Amino acid sequence: MGLWYNHHKTRRNKKNSSNNGTASAPSVIIHPGRHVTWYGDDSQRSRAIAILNGLLGSWGNRGGFYFKEKISIPKYPHPKYPEPKWGWHDLGKQYPFAEMGITSELVKATIPNKDNKHPIKAWLIAGTNLINTLPQREKTIEAINAVDFMVVIDTMPMEITGYADVVLPECTYLERYDGIRSATNRTPSIAVRVPAVKPKYNSKPAWWISKEIGERLGLGDYFNYNDFEDVIEWQLNKMGTSLEEMKKIGVKKFERTSGPLFLEDGQDYEFGTPSGKIEFYSHQLAEKGFDPMPVYTPHPEPPQGFYRLNYGRSPMHTFSRTINNPNLSDLKDKNTLWVNPKVARILDLKKGQEVWLKNQDDKLSTFSIKVRVTERIRWDSVYMYHGFGHNNKKLTRAFGKGVSDTELISKVVIDPLMGGTGLRGNFVSILTENPHKNIEL
């Protein structure tokens, strides 16, 4: 059985597309959101949202989803890369719709195991504080202790740099060139990040680090340039512009070549699916043994006395990587626990009160967190900014400031389609007395 919103090679019927039970259709969007790995059924939930947009006629209609376009960046010449004996595709084969390496599978492949066909012996980590990023921290540390060699590339010290055999200090974004950004939008555009100041101390841009490592490994032919500025200049010239022009204008727009933003009356259109249609029923999923259409499965609810732990980003920080930065720490040095007023009344919580958290597996927060009473969170949930609650005393500005959501995320649900780790199934209770009274931290 196949159901599709009739956009493909059959002609679009404007009257029918707007007569679908809602006054706003087709000028409506159900937004899929960002950071959408939650409960282990995330691929199907995202498909359900896309299907709803199809039913409402949102695809290709004004006020709905326009047809975006980007411009490709010419690749700087280099020899063909050799084929590796194995790669990330060979890790986590049970997730057939994964489109990139799955970090949890890399961790699993690093921990010694006689059944591991592709053991990982070294890590090179760039711009990621894995200790405060990955759930089930004990597994991350077990994997780190198992590797023969670990290199960390980052702009400033944090937990992960303390585990490195070698730290390669990268300069910040204001001190370096990065690759040309090609934005996907209504109109294709490019932008170039140009250094505003020279790198401080002995820090270097990532391109320099990569080139130097490559040359020391005898791979200099893959880095056939003296300065990454030469690469950018070459690419821009191929696109009909120059670095000199980009330094003046910042962003350059190009004409669309793929057609209009929206479908026109009577227009034939073929989507990038096997059928060329918006597919409600997926034969690709059915062939792999998955539900061809999303099936609703209720998620576990918080037990009595517990609240769903939700988390998000602080606008002042880059995840957990900048909490110890003196300037950014001045702006935001700790997180707070968002609690609904109804919960605050039941538990007799006051604004600014210090509390501790315990999750469903009896994992305790190392430090306390202050309460923020707000209507912006549901009564069955609590919320905090991610990246705080560092327990390394060498991070003098970040140590002990707030609570780490990572240490309270002990339950992980894996999406069977693409291997994404759902972290929203953890629950916490709120403790008003210090559970570490007799423990020296």
- 202-247 pLDDT, tens digit per residue, is 999 999 999 999 999 999 999 999 999 999 999 999 999 999 999 9
The structure's pTM equals 0.88
What integer pLDDT is reported at residue 33 of this predicted model? 86
Q: Both tokens of residue 424?
A: 């929203």
What integer pLDDT is reported at residue 22 of this predicted model? 66
Q: Provide the 10 A C-beta neighbour count for residue 381.
A: 18
At 385 the three-state DSSP class reads strand
The mean of the pLDDT values for the chain is 92
**Nearest by Cα to 427 from 404, 411, 403:** 411
- In total, the chain counts a number of residues equal to 441
What integer pLDDT is reported at residue 47 of this predicted model? 95
What integer pLDDT is reported at residue 358 of this predicted model? 98
What integer pLDDT is reported at residue 4 of this predicted model? 36
pLDDT tens per residue across span 137-170: 999 999 999 999 999 999 999 999 999 999 999 9
| pLDDT (mean) for 33-52 | 93
Contact between 81 and 221 (Cβ < 8 Å): no
Label residue 297 by pLDDT band (50, 70, 90).
confident
What integer pLDDT is reported at residue 23 of this predicted model? 79
Contact between 99 and 130 (Cβ < 8 Å): no
CA dihedral 57, 62, 64, 69 (to 10 degrees): 110
Query: Residues of the chain with pLDDT > 70: what percent?
Result: 94
**Nearest by Cα to 319 from 406, 396, 236, 221:** 406
Domains and CATH numbers, the chain: 88-253 (3.40.50.740), 307-431 (2.40.40.20)
